[in-house]
A and B are shown apart, each in its own frame.
Chain A
Amino acid sequence: GAGVSQSPSNKVTEKGKDVELRCDPISGHTALYWYRQSLGQGLEFLIYFQGNSAPDKSGLPSDRFSAERTGGSVSTLTIQRTQQEDSAVYLCASSLAGTSGGYRSEQYFGPGTRLTVT
């Protein structure tokens, strides 16, 4: 079946501009996660959605970052007034459930959006 998709795959933007990154999770997955990965680093958690609500947004680095999810499906991560330090690969993942451990917490990742702020 279809996996997690993200768009665009690459985005180059000028400092100060706003960008929107999109994630389409696997159908039926109630949990959705956004991560950021800087060059050569591990994944930095940004935000978790359960359905359309975000009970854990503790990883968002500043108020320039926001995200929403509609219809329990598609999610959009918005970065306002981008800065050069925002340059990274933004990864989206979904899982069957976000509140129970075990196999239901296995996350399926999209290919990521590589954001470059010039």
Chain B
Amino acid sequence: SQQGEEDPQALSIQEGENATMNCSYKTSINNLQWYRQNSGRGLVHLILIRSNEREKHSGRLRVTLDTSKKSSSLLITASRAADTASYFCATDYLTYYGNNRLAFGKGNQVVVIP
């Protein structure tokens, strides 16, 4: 299975603290992407890291990728109440049909307490 798996699956932190989530996957990927979902509705793309990159930053987000361990982490620094959401990792890989497909993990629920 290509599907990513996030760990831990539920995280509750105080505002201002950092939140770290991990994701593992099983096969070769083109890139790995992190998405956020509020209230079980549409997902919002956060950041993409290519398979030849090891670390990437975007604002308060830091993503790492270790292809030898087939794992990635998402760090949210100085968390805010508005960061409360579910976070999904998705691995981008080429399918048998020639298209790229995103395989999503089950998500991390993060609650930031004001």
Interface residues of A, Cβ cutoff 8 Å to B: 4, 31, 33, 35, 37, 39-43, 45, 48, 50, 55-56, 58, 89, 91, 93, 98-103, 105-112
Task: A114 to B37: give the CA distance in the assembly, Å.
Answer: 15
Shortest Cβ gap from B106 to chain A (Å) = 4
Question: How many inter-chain residue pairs (CB < 8 Å) link A and B?
Answer: 80
In the bound complex, do residue B98 and residue A105 qualify as a contact, i.e. CB atoms below 8 Å apart? no
- Residues facing A in B43-78 (CB within 8 A) are 43-45, 48, 50
Inter-subunit contact A105/B40 (CB<8 Å) = no
Question: Which of these, B97, B100, B104, contacts A105 with CB under 8 Å?
Answer: B100
Asked if A108 and B45 sit within 8 Å, CB to CB, the answer is: yes
Chain B 61-114 interface residues, beta-carbon cutoff 8 Å to A = 88, 90, 92, 94-95, 97-107
Out of A42, A48, A108, name the residue touching B3 (CB < 8 Å).
Answer: A42
- How far, in Å, is A33 (CB) from chain B's closest CB? 8
Given contacts A42-B107, A43-B88, A101-B30, contact A107 B42 (CB under 8 A): no
Query: Are A111 and B42 in contact, CB atoms less than 8 angstroms apart?
Result: yes
Question: Hey, which chain A residues are within 8 Å of B24, CB to CB?
Answer: none
Inter-subunit contact A98/B100 (CB<8 Å): yes
CA distance A101 to B103 in the complex (A): 13
Write the residues of chain B forming the contact surface with A, with a CB cutoff of 8 angstroms.
3, 30-31, 33, 35, 40-45, 48, 50, 88, 90, 92, 94-95, 97-107
Q: Determine the distance from Cα of A55 to Cα of B94 in the docked complex, in whole angstroms.
A: 13
Q: Whole-angstrom distance between the alpha carbons of A83 and B8 in the complex?
A: 33
| CB closest chain-B residue, reference A43 | B104
**Contacts A91-B42, A112-B42 given: A102-B88 contact, CB under 8 Å?**
no
A101 and B92 form a contact (CB under 8 A): yes
- Contact assessment for B40 and A100 in the assembled complex, using a CB-CB cutoff below 8 Å: no
| B102 partner, pick from A55, A105, A110, A112, beta carbons under 8 A | A105
Contact B99 A55 (CB under 8 A): yes
On chain B, the residues within 8 Å of A4 by CB distance are 42
Residues of A within 8 A of B95 (CB): 56, 58
Verify B101–A48 contact, CB threshold 8 A.
Answer: yes
Contact A99 B107 (CB under 8 A): no
